[in-house]
Amino acid sequence: MSEQSYIARTSGLRGKDYLGYAMVDAAGCLVFSLVTTLLQKYYTDIFHLSPLFIMLMFIAARIWDAINDPIMGRICDTVRPTGSGRYRQWLLYVAAPLALASILMFIKWPGIGETGHETATRVYATVTYILFGMIYTALQIPYGSLASVVTTDVSERSRLSVFRSIGAALGSIPVLVIASFAYEKRLDAAGNIVMGENGKAITDMQYTPVIIGVVIMSLCSMIMLFISYGLNRERVRTKPQEPEKGASFKAVKLLFGSRAFIAVSLTALLLLAGQMFTQSFYTYLFDDYFHANWMNLASQACTYSPMIIMMFFLPGLARRIGKKEICATGVAFAAAANLILFFLRGMEPSQLMWIFLVLCFVSGCGLTTVVMQLWAIAADAIDDIEVKTGSRDDGTAYSVFNFFRKLGQVLAAVCVNGALIGMNYRYEKGAVQTMDNLKIMYDLATVIPAVLFALMAVMLFVFYPLNRQKTAELQVQKERRLRESYEKRLIDI
């Protein structure tokens, strides 16, 4: 038996495998993009919730996640596998509940969002948002773990990470169509268009196009999860193990003792915070500052279009240069692009919008490196723990990793709503923003992503230890671990 035979026997992905794996994240992002792009502005403009309440609600939901996520991770690691595997089965279980929870978040029942029903609105928003988060966790943790049993080959995992990123990008596009067409010009009692202090027509988010789009996207997400179940396959089949006393604590302790895992988890936190901040806050910026809602779609096209080019050569480039090296360099460019936007704040909005989109493209090129390789880096960090300790709990590992990403949502919520509070954003029905407020809005929309992406670069350059050479050594050690697990009958191949 050759040196790489165990890795070879648990690899060999084909086009169907990459498509099926990518489709899961595309389905998930169809509904998750509703949260990252629309929900914040929907809460202020349709439900008329204050930015302070929204921020506190998001923080409370993440506190609950600190309990919910590890529980879901242990369930994945200890539940008896079915004929379809340990993690793949969850694609079926969550498909319909996730679609329903997504729709419930955006339904405006009679009285919700109206004066005199503030308490009912707050309770409804909180319950439906937390419900969505719990069900989405039941998809994301098994899905993250799936990469480890779909293939053990580092190159195939790198390509899987690229395809996952492409799936996420494709799943995030439809919501931008809603964001671009969900607004109408405000009219006064006489039917005249209401103008703002800057002489531009004020537009308001409309409920009907939003809820129609949400229903369509949620149902498409459900159908895609059903299809992806049939396309995925687990090549490493772990056998049922009797749960040991204190196993959960031991698994979490190993994760927090790993420099590589903590570094990639913090990178994921900052990445999601940056992405969610721009997706949420840009809806305000493009509507109130630029008065050009079409920029929602254009800016995301500039951010994600680099994937179309880089998907063909990034895996090979990462293999030759190193995942750590190329990701750290890329995100440094993203930070620089946003910093340049901040220093251009003195320009008139009409002159600035095209420069803004060009620099969004530059930032997108840099971010694409880490977006496409993040999950491969996370798998490397989990492999590093296994070869050093002999312990592997994928569900628990991805539950902790997923929790860090949710902390990124908290950071984004604090940044978005803190920015709205800091600029004195007026969210009451019929409110008009002042010019001073709009100038502060632009400053915060550019400097906050610059800081977040700069911190990511430092995290990858300085703290993440698995460079190209160490990753190659890890692959050799992983072959030995696979052989030992197979000989001890801990896994089937």
Q: Just give the CATH number of 11-236+246-492.
A: 1.20.1250.20
User: What confidence score (pLDDT) does residue 493 get?
Assistant: 59
The residues facing 195 across adjacent strands are: 201
Structural domain boundaries of the chain? 11-236+246-492
The encoded tokens of residue 459 equal 């995290």
Q: pTM for the complete prediction?
A: 0.74
Each residue's pLDDT expressed in tens, for the chain with a length of 493 residues? 444 456 666 677 888 889 999 999 999 999 999 988 889 889 988 999 998 999 899 889 888 887 888 888 888 877 777 777 788 899 999 999 999 999 999 999 999 888 888 999 999 999 999 999 999 999 988 898 887 788 877 778 878 888 888 898 889 888 888 877 888 887 777 777 877 766 777 788 888 999 999 999 999 999 999 999 999 888 777 665 555 666 667 777 888 889 999 999 999 999 999 998 998 899 889 988 998 888 988 888 888 888 888 877 887 888 889 899 999 999 999 999 999 999 999 899 888 999 999 999 999 999 999 988 888 898 889 888 878 877 767 777 888 888 898 889 889 988 988 888 888 887 776 677 788 888 999 999 999 999 999 999 999 999 999 988 888 888 778 777 777 776 666 666 5
Question: Cα–Cα distance between 356 and 368 in angstroms, integer?
Answer: 18
The pLDDT, as a whole number, for residue 461 is 94
> What's the DSSP call for residue 238?
E
Burial group, residue 41, by CB count within 10 angstroms (0-12, 13-18, 19+): buried
Q: Which of 340, 331, 366 is nearest to 462 (CA)?
A: 331
Q: Are 138 and 93 in contact (CB under 8 A)?
A: yes
CA–CA distances in Å: residue 296 to residues 151, 178, 225, 293, 331: 37, 10, 27, 6, 22
Angle 88-4-228 from CA coordinates, rounded to 5°: 20
Q: Is 350 exposed, middle or buried (0-12, 13-18, 19+ CB in 10 A)?
A: exposed
Encoding tokens for residue 82? 């079915």
Q: What is the dihedral of CA 255, 372, 450, 347, to 10 degrees?
A: -160
For 481, residues 6+ apart whose C-beta sits below 8 A from its C-beta are 386, 387, 390
Long-range contacts of 419-428 (CB under 8 A, 24+ apart): 419/281, 419/444, 419/445, 419/448, 420/44, 420/51, 420/284, 421/51, 421/52, 421/55, 425/44, 425/51, 425/284, 427/44, 427/45, 427/48, 427/49, 427/50, 427/51, 428/48
